[in-house]
Structure 1
Amino acid sequence: MERFTASKYRGLTTFDLKILGIILMFIDHIHQMFVPMGAPNWLDWFGRPVATLFFFVSVVGFSHTRSKEKYMLRLYLGMIIMTFGSFFLQKFVGYEEVQLMNNIFRDLFVGTLMMYGIDQLSEGASSKKIGKIVWGLVLILFPIVTSVILISLMSNPSTMFAAVWIGNFIPALLFTENNFLVLLIPLMYLAKNHRWIQCLLIGLAAVFFFSQGSTQWMMIFAILPIALFNGEKGKGMRNFFYFFYPLHIWILYLISAYIYTH
C-alpha cells in the first residue's frame, strides 16, 4: 500500500472552500424553500458552517486582491441587486409562505468595509497621519452606528418606511443576515497571519451559540476545511459565484411556489 505523505496532499484552495460552501448552502436553502412541504429541519444543519467559510474566504480574498475598492464595489452592487431582485420577485409571485431574507453580499460588504477601515487605521498609525486614523475609525464604526440610527428611526411610525428603504442601501451590522457574527470577518482579518487564532475565534463563537441553544454552534465544523487551506487561490470562476448565489435562491423559490400552489 502506498504510504500517505504530506507532500502528496496539497490541501484545499480558496476555490475548494467556495465549492464546499456552495454545496452546503444549497442543501440549507432546500430546507428554507421547502419548509411548507415538510422539508426536515436537519437539512438546516448543513448550512451552519457556510457563513464562516465565506467569511474566511473574504478575508483571504480581501488580503490579496489587487484593488480593494473594486472588491468592495462588487459586493455592494451584489447587495443592491440581491435586495431588489428578491423584493420584486416576491411581489410578482406573491408566495408569502417563504420569505427571501437572504443576502450574504450585505454581510460580506459590511465585513470588507471594516477590514478596509483596519487598513486605513494601520496605515495612519504607521505614517502618523491623524486623518487616516480618524477615517479608519469612521469606517470600522460606520456599520454599528448606522444600525443604531436605523433601529431608532424604525421605532417611530412616521420614519419607519423611510428607514426601511434607506437600510437597503446602507451597510448596517444589525441588518445583515448573520448579525453580530459578521464581526468574525474583521477579527479574522486582524489574525490573518495566524490560522490558529482564526480557528480559535470560530470555536469561541461556536461555544457562545451552543450556550444559547442555537444550532449555529455547528459553525465549528468550518474549522477543519479552514485548517486544511493551503493558501492557494486554485481555479478562478469568480463571476460564477456572484451569479450562482442569487440565481439558485430565486430558482428554488420559484420551484417551491409552483409546487405549493399546484
Structure 2
Amino acid sequence: MNANQLKLFMMGLMVLDHIASFIPPELSLIFHVITRCVGVFFAYMAVEGVKYTRNFYRYNARLYVWAIIMMTGNTILNNLLNNPKTMLYNNIFLTLAVGVTLLGVTKKLKETIPFVMKGLLLVTLIVLLLVGSMFTEGGLVILPFMLITFLTQNHKTLCNRLYLILSLLLFFMNFQWLGELGTTLQMLAYNSDFLFITVLPFIALYNGERGSQSLFFKYLFYFFYPAHLWLIAIIANFIQ
C-alpha cells in the first residue's frame, strides 16, 4: 500500500479514538487500544518526509505553522463552548514539528563539525527530547520512536528490536497490579502507549511509494486532523 492509502486508513482509526462522547465507555476503551498505532504511523511518515523533502526547513516550518493554527483554533473553540467536558488540547502537529527538529539536530550531529558544536547540538538534542516528551501530545512515545526510525533507516532488524525495547519500557512504566486481573487490564488499556508497536504491520504494508502527489493529498491530513476534532467537540457540546 502507498502512503496515501495508509494515511486514509489511519485517519479512519483516528476518528474512532476521538468519539468517546458518543459511544459506551467499554467500546471507547477498545477503540483507544486499537488506535495506539495512529500517532506513531504519522510520525513514521514524518521521518519519510524528512528523508525525501527538497527543503527540510520549509517542511519543518509547515508543521510549526499548523501547530500554531491548531493551538489557535483549540483556544477559540474552548472559549466559545466553555464546556470542560469538550475541552481540546490535542496538537499532534506540535509533536511532529518537535520530532522533525530533533531529526534535523541529529543529522547535524552526524556531520563532521567542530567538537564544541557537537557538544552544543547534543545538549540541544537531549533538551528537546526531554522537554518535548513532557509537554507535547504523545511525545513520550512519538519522539523516541522518530529518533529510532531515523537512526536505523538501513538496519530494519535493529530498528524493530529498539521498538520492542521502547514498548517494554513503556509497559513497565505503566504497569501496576491493582488487586485483580480485570481491573489491571482495564488500567493498562487506558495507559496503553506501549501498544504503539502495533504499527509494525502497517509499516510492513508500506511499499515506499507516496501515491498521488496532488495538493489534495498533500494537505488532506493537515486539514482533516483539526477539522474532525473541532467538529466532534461542537457536536458533543450540543449533545451534552
Note whether the superposition's TM-score is higher than 0.5: yes
Unaligned runs of 5+ in 1: 1-11, 148-171
Q: Which runs of 5+ in 2 are unaligned?
A: 176-187
Tell me the equivalent position of 1:225. 202
Matches within 5 A, 1:231-250: 231-236=208-213, 237-250=217-230
Distance across 2 between alignment mates of 1:101 and 1:74: 20
Distance 1:201 1:19 in 2: 27
Query: How many angstroms apart in 2 are the aligned matches of 1:175 and 1:207?
Result: 22
Query: Residues 14-163 of structure 1 correspond to what in structure 2 (within 5 A)?
Result: 14-31=3-20, 33-34=21-22, 40-123=28-111, 125=112, 128-130=113-115, 133-134=118-119, 136-144=121-129, 147=131
Q: CA deviation at 1:119?
A: 1.2
Larger Rg: 1
Distance 2:161 2:61 in 1: 30
* Larger CA deviation: 203-212 vs 82-91: 203-212
Higher percent of residues as helix: 2
Q: Describe the SS at the equivalent of 1:197.
A: helix
- Could you say which residue in structure 2 is the equivalent of 1:180? 140
Q: 2:168 aligns with which of 191, 200, 207?
A: 207
Does the C-alpha gap of structure 1 residues 24 and 36 become closer, same or farther in structure 2, counting only changes over 3 Å? closer
Q: May I ask how many residue pairs the two structures share in their alignment?
A: 220
Q: Distance in 1 between matches of 2:50 and 2:89?
A: 25
Residues 135 and 188 (structure 1), Cα distance of their counterparts in 2 relative to 1, 3 Å cut: same
User: Do the aligned partners of residues 224 and 45 (structure 1) sit closer, same or farther apart at CA in structure 2, a change above 3 Å counting?
Assistant: same
Bigger drift between 129-138 and 90-99 goes to: 129-138
TM-score by length of 2: 0.82
1:3 match? none
Are the counterparts in 1 of residues 91 and 137 from structure 2 also a CA contact under 8 Å? yes
Partner SS, residue 97 of structure 1: helix
Change (3 A) 1:217 1:138: closer
Q: Percent identity?
A: 29
Aligned-partner Cα distance in 2 for 1:225–1:140: 28
Quick check: 1:117–1:136 contact (8 Å CA) kept in 2? yes
Shift of 1:97: 1.0
Matched residue type, 1:13: N
1:194, distance to aligned residue in structure 2 (A): 2.3
Residue 142 of structure 1: how far off its partner (Å): 4.0
**In 2, are the aligned partners of 1:14 and 1:233 still within 8 Å (CA)?**
yes
Letter of the structure 2 residue corresponding to residue 188 of structure 1: T
1:120/1:135 contact within 8 Å kept: no
Q: CA deviation at 1:250?
A: 0.3
* Structural RMSD (CA): 2.3
